Structure 1
Amino acid sequence: MSDAPSSTTIYPIRLYGDPVLRRKATPLRHTDTVQVPSFGPQTLREVAHQMLETMFEARGVGLAAPQIGLSSRLFVAVEYEDDENENEGQERPLRSRVLREFVMLNPKLTVINKKKDKAETEGCLSIPDIYEEGVPRARAVRVEYTDLDGQPQVAEAENYLARVFQHEYDHLEGKLFLDYLPASVTQEHRAALLTMQQRAKLNLERLRAALQEGHRHERL
């Protein structure tokens, strides 16, 4: 996105327990102006740019609109030149390792290799510090989507990138990677998940208070 906005905003990432993560997101048009909660109206190009920056800041590989509180069918993802874990903790900026950048509006995902892979470790920016193997993901997928210019596009992915696409697409369907694992796994992380739920509730209360205060000033 060479014409991305020059200013950068890092969005707060919604945490496990936030209701927006369980809603099925709604379609949108590339010409839409949208409003991320607690931010002003923005074009989708601005939102996509800032979603990527938020993702890089969190050292992620993908981010879906519901994770920033926007229940719209949009996600961003990148393909890095090597495994993110191999360079964990190093100073090299993630942007310098990007091979391909994806911004997908209204994606439609089709499995093209039904063989499932459970070996990869999976995590989520909305469920920080919890990583698990065993999430079954198709080894190859095709995603049909609209780009930021309103043009139809198709991307095919295998292995790890296919997993990324499936993970982000799930967010648009209100699903989380823990949903695919036995209840015992969730129970194992019960204390951490409860803390996230409490933080999510507190964040929502703060957001509502800030929005109410903003509306009050608008009326003055």
Structure 2
Amino acid sequence: MRLYGDPVLRRKAKPLAATDLLTVPGFQPQTVREVADAMLETMFEQRGVGLAAPQIGLPVRLFVAVEYADDEEEHEGQDKPLRSRVLREYVMLNPVIRPLNKKKDRSYQEGCLSIPGIYEEGVARARQVRIDYTDLEGQPRSLEAEDYLARVFQHELDHLDGVLFLDRLPDDVTSDHRAELLKIQQAAKTYLTELTAWEKRTH
């Protein structure tokens, strides 16, 4: 998991095709489907609802997301596998989002697996969106989403453009978390140092 402070989280991701072979840093080349499966597993391990490719070090326009049968908070601290509550999984290549409702909603609390432990309300998101994307078979798809799921899709699409949810909040919100963010940045730096050392040993 790439953390706040890692440069890959600020890069604009590139389009990809369903037939591409992808190389996640630290791993052998994999198909898009294999990467998507691994992303879903990582997301479940971290108890998340979405994960974008840049968050695992891949600057490509791919994200995964899920709908759960009930509220994650109701099972906080329990060992019940998240997979047992999945209603639907989404794997989206080259997603494009269009708002269907001009009204913005700020009521949901957002967090991010790349910024662990920090949650804030106030991020303005479109309440209803249409999302066009390519599936794992290379076929064009589209769907409409509203409220929380629409927010998840918009959050993940932001990752593909190098935008984090804290960027959409006033500067003083980020300042309030300065100490926590510095710790996360240090963890990101340590990981990148270890990854570089591993790549030198293996190549």
**TM-score, structure 2 as length reference:** 0.99
Aligned pair partner of 2:177 in 189, 192, 196: 189
Who is 2:198 aligned against?
Answer: 210
- 1:73-152 pair list within 5 angstroms: 73-152=61-140
Aligned pair partner of 1:35 in 23, 27, 32: 23
CA–CA distance in 2 between the matches of 1:116 and 1:88? Answer: 29
- 1:43-62 pair list within 5 angstroms: 43-62=31-50
Who is 1:63 aligned against?
Answer: 51
CA–CA distance in 2 between the matches of 1:81 and 1:112? Answer: 25
CA–CA distance in 2 between the matches of 1:160 and 1:62? Answer: 12
Q: Detail structure 1 runs of 4+ shifted over 2 Å in the superposition.
A: none
Letter in 2 for 1:192: E
Who is 2:10 aligned against?
Answer: 22
**DSSP 3-state at the match of 1:128:** coil
- 1:160-171 pair list within 5 angstroms: 160-171=148-159
Deviation at 1:121, TM superposition (A): 0.5
CA–CA distance in 1 between the matches of 2:102 and 2:10? Answer: 26
Which structure 1 residue ranges, 5 or more long, are not aligned?
1-12, 216-220
CA–CA distance in 2 between the matches of 1:42 and 1:28? Answer: 13
Alpha-carbon deviations, 1:26-64, whole Å to 9, x = none? Answer: 000000000000000000000000100000000000000
CA–CA distance in 1 between the matches of 2:114 and 2:153? Answer: 16
Letter in 1 for 2:37: H
Who is 1:3 aligned against?
Answer: none
CA–CA distance in 1 between the matches of 2:163 and 2:81? Answer: 30
**DSSP 3-state at the match of 1:108:** strand
Q: Percent of aligned positions with the same letter in both sequences?
A: 69
CA–CA distance in 1 between the matches of 2:109 and 2:194? Answer: 33
**DSSP 3-state at the match of 2:144:** strand
Q: Cα RMSD between the aligned structures?
A: 0.6
CA–CA distance in 2 between the matches of 1:137 and 1:201? Answer: 31
| Count of residues in Structure 1 that have an aligned counterpart in Structure 2 | 203
**DSSP 3-state at the match of 2:18:** coil
CA–CA distance in 2 between the matches of 1:195 and 1:147? Answer: 37
Which structure 2 residue ranges, 5 or more long, are not aligned?
none
**DSSP 3-state at the match of 1:113:** coil
CA–CA distance in 2 between the matches of 1:195 and 1:142? Answer: 37
